[in-house]
Structure 1
Amino acid sequence: MASYDLREELKCPICWEIYIDPVSLKCGHSFCQDCITRQLITQKGCGCYSCPHCKEESKEWPTLHKNVALCNISEHFLSKHSQGNRQCSIHKLDLTYYCTQDAACICDQCSENEHQGHQMESLGEASEKKKASLKNVQQNLITKRDEMENKVQSLQGRRRKVEEKATCEKDKVSALFKDLKGQLEDLEKGVLKEISISAQRVSALVSDLIDQLVIKKGELSRKLRDIDRELRTMTDPLTVLQESEIGDLYSTDQSGSEDIQKQEGMDLDTTWISHVIQTGVSHITGIVACFYLKEPADIMLDVNTAHNDILISEDLKAASYSPKQNRPKTRERFQDYTQVISSQSFSSGQHYWEVDVGESEYWSIGMCYPSIERGGYQAQNECNKKSWCLRRSGNWYSVIQDNKWIELPASISSDRLRIYLDYESGQISFYEFSNPIKHIYTFTATFTEPLHAALRIWKGCVKISNSGE
């Protein structure tokens, strides 16, 4: 009974076997070192570690203290009981054989009696076979463990990428909202300023009218005084009728009434406010749409439209100024201006494409109809109703359509630009591809033909870039 009680006290609470290399946690509970280590590993992702017995928690990996006394008692107990396990429980003789049929260790008498005729092996031979089998199991487990470790590392790598991507997206969204807030504030300030200017204009007109009416009121007051004075002196009826000329007193200037009637409709015009706000917000929301379109359009330049002073790269993604390419003259090719358009066209939906202009200071980029002229003055991207473009000439930036030039107030700092098309909304927008994306300008039109990407270059090289490069 005492031996049984001692065995129970020497059992690990995790594996319920006699302690092997027992260690203790801070709370005082003991476990096999391998058992508690495996248990703690499973808790690693939870953010804290706890004792399997009493559930006491620790945020840090617990320190494992070797329980020397418990280790000695366990080893002594195992040694004492293992000696009895080396003798046959029936004949009290040393165990010498292993019966493969009954999977039991037996003595000489067992082999001649109960196990006679069974397949038997020496303990050493059976032991080696079992070791070999265990080694196979061990190798399989090692392979599975390594596979799991690889999966864990792969998942950890994926988790890191997700976290990095999330951080990047958060930064981009924060920067975007910062820019959007700035643009909304600028829009608000602009609208409020225009309202104030309109109010000042109306106020000035009203003030002028007030001044005019004050003057006319003074004239009326003077006439009233004159009439009052005349009335006080008019005692003789004959004299009143013969001498008083009161026609000028009866006459009053009617312009005051006319001015009042004319100005009754004077009010602060607010009809424009809604349009300005809607246009401004539309431009701002265009940034969001442009920001979240996943992939750019796969734009390739059509070499059959390229002017003979433009070299088109093999991948059809770059246009360089390079005179005398000696291509055949065709109806599609630009003859007088160093331009090229894309082979792709868009007749619906939302699309964007990006260009790298870092190698040139003289270019024009945008979109055009396929029916754009190929020769003559009207063939220029800037000089017709069939194209919309952003142009740089040295340090001068402008947006142009139908020969109407709008000079941009500030230079563009980024070498990468984004052109965004919303066909149904009739908008072509240009953005500076910085962090965050900055709106440059938006054309608004009603499109009647498919739209092609359009490039014009005087010096250097312009490249169509892929997203993420």
Structure 2
Amino acid sequence: MPQNIQDRLIGQREVIKCRLKKLKGKQKQVKTKSTAMRESIMKKYEEIRRVLEEDCRITLSLLEMEETATIQALENLIEKNCVLLKDIEIQLNEGLMESGMQSGDRVTLYEDRVLELLTATEPGLIKLDEAKADQLLGLTNNLLLFIRSQTPIAKRLLKSYYTEVSLDPTTAHPKLIISSAGDCATFTDVWQDVPEQEGRFDTTLNVLSLQCWNSGHHYWEVDVSGKIYWELGLTYPSIPRKGQKEDCWLGRHAESWCLEYFDGDYNAWHGGTAHPLPISSCFHKIGILCSFPGGLVTFLGVDSMMPLFSFCAGTFTDSLHLALCPGHDLQGTNSKPIKICQS
């Protein structure tokens, strides 16, 4: 090999080695930052747990202390009744209740003592402070409602990213009916009389959003209830739209990211590679998060806010459209529409 060519190859080898070193350094940096973020969040949740446990301890201690005092007061009243009862039984057992004025006076004395005792030990005199207890229960319930209103935290965050979107009927396959509001796509076996458009899909049952985005965070939820097949995701405008090529399908090339569901099985698609998901749940709503700062496309099962799969593109090279495919009706088993949920 000529020396100059060998030198050039060595130079290229060093360039690649340098890039590998930087990539591995970046990988380590990402892991370090992610670990630190997880630990910080876990510490906050631990602090929340400790605060709630301490507040619960204080509240229960107050109630237990008042319960102890009330029980003790009742014990004292019970003791007074037992003492007088025992005294009367002694009188009966020892036969001291003889006839005559003396015994009558003694009976009168006991009757007075019993009457006094019954008045002093009326159970209704001992009460729990139920009004305060009800207030504590009410405050506890308010705290629960507030916590529920703030959780799941991830859902609150995603909702803050919600972006208005509508479907573009000029991109829809002729066998798709797009609602007038642009939020719903329904398959029909009748070929629609629609204008021929350069951007219209003519084989795959896709439709794109009218809007596209190239920065920020965006989140949508799609209702897929009652369906056994669908595809949804994000795509660059350059996705092929004509012909039988698989490139027109979502996720079958490097220009789109897709989550597919068919008869109980979920697959995440990108670059023609399927990622089977070990999920047994059938979600009624699917969330799609697009993060331009992170170059991320994330899918979630909205029903339980379960993260399903994330793609990391690093940096998006073009703007992105939301893309939906409701699929064929499959002999009536998949006739339900696919619908974008409102915020």
TM-score (norm 2): 0.53
The structure-2 alpha-carbon separation of the partners of 1:292 and 1:357, relative to structure 1 and needing over 3 Å to count, comes to closer
TM-fit CA distance, 1:321: 0.6
Q: Aligned partners of 2:225 and 2:130: how far apart in 1?
A: 53
SS at match of 1:405: strand
SS at match of 2:260: strand
Give the letter for the 1:171 counterpart: R
- In structure 2, what is the equivalent of residue 441 of structure 1? 309
Give the letter for the 2:176 counterpart: I
Q: Aligned partners of 2:254 and 2:141: how far apart in 1?
A: 46
Task: Say if 2:165 and 2:210, in contact at 8 Å, map to a contact too.
Answer: yes
Give the letter for the 1:423 counterpart: F
TM-fit CA distance, 1:360: 1.6
The structure-2 alpha-carbon separation of the partners of 1:169 and 1:60, relative to structure 1 and needing over 3 Å to count, comes to closer
TM-fit CA distance, 1:299: 1.2
The structure-2 alpha-carbon separation of the partners of 1:349 and 1:295, relative to structure 1 and needing over 3 Å to count, comes to closer
SS at match of 1:304: coil
Deviation digits for residues 415-456 of structure 1 (CA, Å, limit 9, x no counterpart)? 011100111210000011124x11000000020101110011
Task: Say if 1:290 and 1:420, in contact at 8 Å, map to a contact too.
Answer: no
RCO comparison, higher one (Cα < 8 Å, 6+): 2
The structure-2 alpha-carbon separation of the partners of 1:292 and 1:394, relative to structure 1 and needing over 3 Å to count, comes to closer
- In structure 2, what is the equivalent of residue 348 of structure 1? 215
Gaps of 5+ in 1: 1-58, 62-159, 177-286
Task: Say if 1:290 and 1:352, in contact at 8 Å, map to a contact too.
Answer: no
Matched, 1:170 2:147: yes
- In structure 1, what is the equivalent of residue 82 of structure 2? none
Q: 2:264 aligns with which of 392, 395, 398?
A: 395
Q: Percent identity?
A: 29
The structure-2 alpha-carbon separation of the partners of 1:168 and 1:350, relative to structure 1 and needing over 3 Å to count, comes to farther
Q: 1:407 aligns with which of 276, 279, 283?
A: 276
The structure-2 alpha-carbon separation of the partners of 1:312 and 1:169, relative to structure 1 and needing over 3 Å to count, comes to farther
TM-fit CA distance, 1:294: 2.4
Deviation digits for residues 305-341 of structure 1 (CA, Å, limit 9, x no counterpart)? 0000111011110001113112121101001111000
The structure-2 alpha-carbon separation of the partners of 1:305 and 1:431, relative to structure 1 and needing over 3 Å to count, comes to same
TM-fit CA distance, 1:168: 4.0
Give the letter for the 2:148 counterpart: D
What is the alpha-carbon root mean square deviation over aligned residues? 2.7
Q: Aligned partners of 1:322 and 1:165: how far apart in 2?
A: 49
Matched, 1:316 2:293: no
Q: Aligned partners of 2:159 and 2:143: how far apart in 1?
A: 17
Give the letter for the 2:299 counterpart: F
Alignment of 1:67-466 (within 5 A): 167-171=144-148, 176=152, 288=154, 291-294=157-160, 296-323=162-189, 324-376=191-243, 377=245, 378-435=247-304, 437-445=305-313, 446-458=315-327, 459=329, 460=335, 461-466=337-342
Count of aligned residue pairs for this structure pair: 199
TM-fit CA distance, 1:297: 1.1
Deviation digits for residues 324-370 of structure 1 (CA, Å, limit 9, x no counterpart)? 11212110100111100001111001110000000321110000001
Q: Aligned partners of 1:332 and 1:402: how far apart in 2?
A: 21
Runs ≥4 residues deviating over 6 A = 163-166
Give the letter for the 2:321 counterpart: H
Give the letter for the 1:452 counterpart: H
Give the letter for the 2:257 counterpart: W
Task: Say if 2:158 and 2:219, in contact at 8 Å, map to a contact too.
Answer: no
Q: Aligned partners of 2:158 and 2:203: how far apart in 1?
A: 39
Task: Say if 1:373 and 1:379, in contact at 8 Å, map to a contact too.
Answer: yes
Q: Aligned partners of 2:181 and 2:144: how far apart in 1?
A: 34
Gaps of 5+ in 2: 1-128, 132-137, 330-334
